[in-house]
């Protein structure tokens, strides 16, 4: 079963890489702004959810689109920031440290 876990982790890593690539394309490739684009696809999914199709396969497709849309929004709006230092003004640093410890 260790092999199965390794394969699942590899699948998640590939999915993560794929979503990061798509998010980069959305950020730089949408001429009118990625937020408007994301709002449109999420709104479309919400509309489809309000009027769900009868067939289970069609409903599953709507659910998959909703999952993908929300995941994409997360990747576009908040990148991982791997290896980066947060740009927090010094004025906020003491209060954020005290909030974390309480």
- Quick one: CA dihedral 59, 60, 65, 70, positive or negative? positive
Whether 38 contacts 73, CB under 8 Å: yes
Predicted pLDDT of residue 102: 47
**End-to-end CA separation in angstroms for the chain:** 41
The reported pTM is 0.62
**Phi and psi (nearest 5°) for 83?**
80, 5
Q: What is the mean pLDDT of the chain?
A: 77
Cβ pair 53, 59 in contact under 8 A: yes
pLDDT per residue as tens digits for the range 28-44: 888 777 888 888 888 98
């Amino acid at each position: 079963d260790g092999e199965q876990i390794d394969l699942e982790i590899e699948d998640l890593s590939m999915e993560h890489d794929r979503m990061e690539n798509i998010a980069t394309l959305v950020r730089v490739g949408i001429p009118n702004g990625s937020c408007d684009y994301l709002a449109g696809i999420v709104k479309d999914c919400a509309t489809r959810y309000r009027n769900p199709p009868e067939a289970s396969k069609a409903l599953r497709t709507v659910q998959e689109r909703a999952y993908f849309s929300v995941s994409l929004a997360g990747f576009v709006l908040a990148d991982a920031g791997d290896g980066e230092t947060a740009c927090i003004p010094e004025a906020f640093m003491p209060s954020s440290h005290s909030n974390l410890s309480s």
